[in-house]
Each structure stands twice: as C-alpha cells, then as structure tokens.
C-alpha cells in the first residue's frame, strides 16, 4: 500500500518515542535548547579547518575577481540575447559573493 510523505514522516521511531525530533506529546517548543552544544559542533570539525591561512583566502578573492572580469569579457565578446540572461545570473552570483566577503570580514 502506498503512503504519502506526510504519513511516512509521522511514523514513530521504534528506538525512542520521538517523531522527527519532536517529543511524544507532539509539541514543538522553539524556545527549548537544541539537543547539542556548540562545543560538540566545534569538536566535530577537524582541527585543520580552524587554522587561518591568509594566502589561501586571498587566492579565493583573486579567483572571484578573475571570474567577474572573465564573465564581463565573455559578455562583451558574445553579445547575444541568449547569453545575457546567463550572464546576469552568473555575474549576480559573483557580485553577491564579493558583497558577502566584504561584509563578513
């Protein structure tokens, strides 16, 4: 017999009395603390990920700026109505990446 996604997601887990992270009463308390601590998340991330490398970071900036200029050159070279919507999406994504970089620094 086929079951809908909702029916499958509402089935209780046999190992504990929860339904997709909600306790047995079916109430979800958004103000309750999560079942994990920040220290546990940090411990799960490998130590080499916490090492700052300014040269690697600058290489990513250079790569993004290079892609922006390459897209602009491709737009000028191709200059086709088919290419412009693709250019807008790609260039918008790249400028968004540079915007985020500038505001997260």
Please report the pLDDT score of residue 24 as a whole number: 57
Predicted TM-score (pTM) of the model is 0.58
DSSP state of 103: H
Q: Which residue has the tokens 């920040």?
A: 38
- Quote the CA–CA distance of 105 and 103 in Å, as a whole number: 6
Q: Per-10-residue mean pLDDT for the chain, 105 residues long?
A: 47 50 67 90 93 91 95 94 94 93 76
* Domain extents in the chain: 5-104
Please report the pLDDT score of residue 6 as a whole number: 43
65: left (phi over 0), alpha (psi -120 to 50) or beta: alpha
CB contact at 8 A, 93 and 101: no
């Amino acid at each position: 017999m086929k079951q809908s996604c909702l029916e499958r997601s509402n089935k209780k887990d046999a190992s504990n009395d929860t339904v997709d992270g909600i306790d047995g009463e079916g109430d979800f308390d958004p103000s309750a603390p999560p079942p994990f601590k920040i220290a546990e998340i940090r411990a799960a991330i490998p130590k080499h990920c916490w090492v700052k490398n300014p040269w690697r970071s600058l290489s990513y900036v250079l790569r993004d700026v290079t892609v922006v200029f390459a897209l602009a050159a491709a737009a000028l070279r191709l200059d086709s109505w088919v290419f412009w919507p693709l250019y807008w999406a790609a260039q918008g994504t790249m400028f968004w990446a540079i915007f985020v970089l500038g505001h997260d620094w």
